[in-house]
Every structure is written in structure tokens, then in C-alpha cells.
Structure 1
Amino acid sequence: MQLTSLFATIALSFVSVVSSAAVVPRAANDVFVPQITSPTADTVWTMGKTETVTWDTSNAPVNISNGASVYLEGYGRIAEGFDLRSGSVDVKVPFLPDGVVDSTKLYKIILFGDSGNESPDFKIIFDPSSEKE
């Protein structure tokens, strides 16, 4: 009987601690969905070159809870580990798989932090001289 009472007391104490922890609010405004300002629909990137992805930081929260990364749609991650409050990151435009360049294909940049945001569609081209860099 005493063992049952002891177990019940411990269980209730645990529930009390967990319940109080569960109501602690997240920091206000820590979700940030910045508007990408570059690349734009008129942008043309060249494979192998370094380009800059930019975004609006005018209403960035003080606390941003997740790390940042940039993905090139159809390729994968091309940058990570930067501060979203910086407003920009340089990326090396990858040589796309199989070296196939489709001049009609359009790409998007996806900026991740607490939430993802997409750029407008833009073009990536191949310039043979860029392979030497």
C-alpha cells in the first residue's frame, strides 16, 4: 500500500512538472518568412559562378530558432549555417547533373529558417569558360 502511494505521489509530481513546462510560451515573433529579393524573374545565373541570394530583413525577429539554408530546386542544398538576419549569402551555382542545359527550364531558390520561402522562377545557363574557375 505504501509503495502504491509513493508511486502515485511521484507520478503526480512528474505530471505537474511536465504540465508546467508545456505552458511556457515560445519567444514572440521567432518565425521569420523573409521575402527573397534576389534572384528575381529576370535573373540569369551561370553554372560555376558565385551569385548572391538576398532577402528582406526589415521585420526580422530578435530570436530565430532554426539554422538557415538555401536550396536550389531540383538540385539540393547550396548554402547553410548563415544568419538569416544578414540579408544575403553567396552561393556557388552548381554544375547541374549530366551537364545537360535546358534553356527553357526554370529554377527556384528556397530559403529555409523557421519557415521556407521561394524565389520567383529564374534561369541558369552554362558557359564553357566558367568550368575553369
Structure 2
Amino acid sequence: MRSVIGNILGFVLLTLLSTSVNSSPGVVFVPPITSPTSTSVRTGKSVQNVTWDVSNPPANITNKIGTILFRSADFTTLLILADNFDILLGTIEITVPWVLTGNDYSLNLIGDSGNFSPNFTIIQAD
């Protein structure tokens, strides 16, 4: 009888402890990229700002650490242009990759979800 009561009390105590922990659920934050735009022309090897809208973030973001990946022809590459920054900064400097001149380049801003910039143009450096 004692072991049954002990097991019940242990279960109740464990349940109370696990439910008293404040674990607010996080919210996925997908800030839209505001620059570069579809009319942007960037030069390879130049330093440029990438910006995104952080005007209305949720209170509990699931991942505040950002990464920016390079995209070419609608495929995300493994080229990391910026990493390990606070997604709430709203801007970060990158070095534009030295690639062939083209107008099908974009960026992938990743925090806890991915968001693509519009396609923009990169021209080769002189």
C-alpha cells in the first residue's frame, strides 16, 4: 500500500513540477527583405547592405539568430554571406559574390524560417 501511495505522490509531484515551468511557445518570424529589390543592381565584390522589415516582431521568436545565403536561378546555394547575427537588427553588410553578370540572383534570409528577396542583378566588377 505504501509503494502505491508513494508512486501516486511521485507522479503528482512530477506532474506539478513539469507544468509549473514557464515555456511560452515560440512564434515563427518571417521578416520581408526590403533590400535588395527587383530593381537593384549590385557589383560583384562590393560591400552592400541587406535590409529587412523588423517593425512588428512577435514577443517570442523561436530563433533570433540569422543567416543569409546566396541564391542563383531560384536555387539556394551553400554560400553563406552573413551568419550568426540578431535577426532583429534589420540590416547587415555583405560582400556581393563575384559571379557572372545576371539578373536571376536573390538572397535567402533565415532565422527560424526562410524568406527570399526578389531577384536582382549582379554585374561583374571592372
TM-score bucket of the superposed structures, by smaller chain = 0.7 to 0.9
% same residue: 37
- 2: CA distance between counterparts of 1:105 and 1:42? 10
Q: 1:83 aligns with which of 76, 81, 86?
A: 86
Which amino acid counterpart does residue 49 of structure 2 have in structure 1?
T
**Equivalent residue number for residue 61 of structure 1:** 58
Give TM-score, length-normalised by structure 1: 0.69
- Using the TM superposition, give the Cα deviation of residue 81 of structure 1 relative to its aligned residue in structure 2, in angstroms: 1.2
Between Structure 1 and Structure 2, which shows a larger proportion of strand residues?
A: 2
Between Structure 1 and Structure 2, which shows a larger proportion of helix residues?
A: 1
Unmatched runs of 5 consecutive residues or more in structure 1 = 1-9
1:13-32 superposed matches below 5 A: 24-27=23-26, 30-32=27-29
Change beyond 3 A, Cα 1:71–1:60: same
**Equivalent residue number for residue 42 of structure 1:** 39
- Using the TM superposition, give the Cα deviation of residue 15 of structure 1 relative to its aligned residue in structure 2, in angstroms: 9.1
Q: 1:117 aligns with which of 102, 106, 115?
A: 115
- 2: CA distance between counterparts of 1:61 and 1:25? 12
- 2: CA distance between counterparts of 1:79 and 1:112? 10
Match status 1:72 vs 2:74: no
Maintained 8 Å contact 2:102/2:123: no
Give TM-score, length-normalised by structure 2: 0.73
- Using the TM superposition, give the Cα deviation of residue 19 of structure 1 relative to its aligned residue in structure 2, in angstroms: 8.8
- Using the TM superposition, give the Cα deviation of residue 94 of structure 1 relative to its aligned residue in structure 2, in angstroms: 2.0
Superposition misfits of 4+ residues, deviation over 3 angstroms:
13-21
Change beyond 3 A, Cα 1:32–1:39: same
Q: CA RMSD in A?
A: 2.8
Question: In the TM superposition, what whole-angstrom CA distance separates every residue of 1:3-34 from its partner, at most 9, and x where no partner exists?
Answer: xxxxxxx99x989987998xx5514xx31000
Maintained 8 Å contact 2:103/2:119: no
**Equivalent residue number for residue 3 of structure 1:** none
- 1: CA distance between counterparts of 2:102 and 2:46? 20
Aligned residues: 120
